[in-house]
Amino acid sequence: MTTIGIDGLRFYVPAYALDLADLARARGVPEGKFLHGLGQRTMAVAPPDQDVISMGASAAEQALIGVDRDRIGMVVLSTEDGVDMSKAGAMYLHRLLELPASCQAYEVKQACTAGTVALQQALFYVSANPDRLALVVMADEARYAFHSPAEATQGAGACALVISARPRIAEITPVFGVYTEEVADFWRPVYREEALVDGHFSIEMYMRALAGSWADYAFLRGGVKIEDFARFCCHLPFARIADKARARLLKVAGVTPDKGRHLGADDCASYGREIGNTYTASLYVALASLLETGQEDLAGREVGMYSYGSGCMGMFFALRVMPGYTAALAAKENAKMLQQRQRISVAQYEEWRGQRLPEDGRTVRLDHFGSARFRLCGCAGHRRCYERSKTKITPAVLPVMNHTS
Ligand code: HMG
């Protein structure tokens, strides 16, 4: 049987972050609620010249280092922040990443589970075309209303996976347990910039879908036994949910908390604690966190993966970590990317969030914010324009959006 799985795994976060202690002060909330209750320290904030396409392209560019791009037969974008109702965001990625004309490009949606749906399709594609590769790009900006309880669970970023029949990082068994139920726990009508959410109900649904998808995975589809998992990695809207999800999984699997202690939670949340929710990318940023910041050698071991998307659908699956996996990861680069981010004030974050591209077809050129590899450079005639940055710019004073009509 062919081994199919993850050969490349890279993520990208914008160069700006907001300290949640500052947000707590500005909102009159005890900082312990954000820092300990939710387990978050900072949240990534996208400047006006970053969106899901530019962030996705930056993550993918890194994942494609050393890859023969002519072998890529499929690029899928999963996002909740699609920039067009018709044209797939993957079309822009196809051009920015200089992929071959024989590579199919499309977009998928089902809240945060869309990343896993895209991964599943990539596995099917590579199993039918083992000499080719598939590129999965997940990118999002989690946005809720100012002053809402959900505001502290925002974030921004992208993750890219290269799927191959000779994976260096992890093999994925194509057995997926699923739980689907139509509910209104979190949603975003097309006319809104910010998501609407029934916070406590969304957590209840997250847990119900975990139990349901685990039951489908373990009892109906013959998945890996709970005692054979070395670790458990889950969708992370905020870091503290990892402990609660692990406790729920142990309960439904009939394992005592003591016996299930090794499944861990902390190292899968190390990156998320500094980034916040990245919706579709969040589970895969958590996987990078587990593999890059965990102390244990996971080679040859199984990791249980839980993907949740509001609305809602839960998916449970497993991956087996490959020998020598650390050589294919980028722990040092990622630590540097997170450390070098510039802290911004609450006022700056609010000002950026108020900026919009015009909706009347005017030409707008956006200033550079930071030194991202790819950027949204503006729009003209209702079309978004992207470019690869040529110069490295570290702004001493943050520039503002430059509108020209
Ligand atoms: P809230 O209701 O304001 O917070 O919002 P809370 O009162 O539940 O407090 C949170 C925790 O802080 C609690 O801990 C408090 O006790 C604790 P717990 O009891 O749960 O263990 N706390 C404190 N701790 C220390 N010092 C203090 C203090 N005060 C309180 N002083 C909520 C929380 C998560 C509901 C809100 O932020 C929210 O609505 N977030 C967005 C929704 C969300 O993230 N849902 C998660 C599941 S759904 C999902 O993951 C899908 C999603 O990614 C979207 C998609 O699929 O596309 C969101």
pLDDT more than 90, % of the chain: 91
SS3 content of the chain, % helix, strand, coil (to 5): 35, 25, 40
Q: Answer yes or no: is pLDDT of 287 > 70.
A: yes
User: For residue 54, what are the contacts with CB-CB under 8 A and spacing of at least 6?
Assistant: 372, 374, 375, 376, 386
Is 79 touching ligand 1 by the criterion CB < 6 Å? no
46-60, 70-84, 357-371, 380-394 — which is least confidently predicted?
A: 380-394
Q: What is the DSSP letter of 146?
A: T
Q: Answer yes or no: is pLDDT of 392 > 70.
A: no
pLDDT mean over 258-280: 91
Q: What's the confidence (pLDDT) of residue 174?
A: 87
68-72, 165-169, 219-223, 298-302 — which is least confidently predicted?
A: 219-223
- pLDDT tens for residues 320-333? 999 999 999 999 99
Q: What's the confidence (pLDDT) of residue 399?
A: 38
Q: Answer yes or no: is pLDDT of 243 > 80.
A: yes
pLDDT mean over 337-343: 97
d(CA 228, CA 223): 10
- Check if the beta carbon of residue 239 is closer than 8 Å to that of residue 278: no
How many CB atoms within 10 Å of residue 399? 14
For ligand 1, atom 11: residue with the closest CA: 37
251-253-259 Cα angle (round to 5): 75
Ligand 1 centre distance from Cα of residue 240 (Å): 9
- pLDDT tens for residues 125-156? 999 999 999 999 999 999 999 999 999 999 99
Q: Phi, psi (5° rounding) for residue 32?
A: -60, -30
Q: What's the confidence (pLDDT) of residue 262?
A: 82
Is 37 touching ligand 1 by the criterion CB < 6 Å? yes
Is 82 touching ligand 1 by the criterion CB < 6 Å? no
| DSSP secondary structure letters along 306-346 | EEEETTTEEEEEEEEEPTTGGGGS-HHHHHHHHHTPEEE-H
| Residues annotated as catalytic (active site), given as ranges | 80, 112, 235
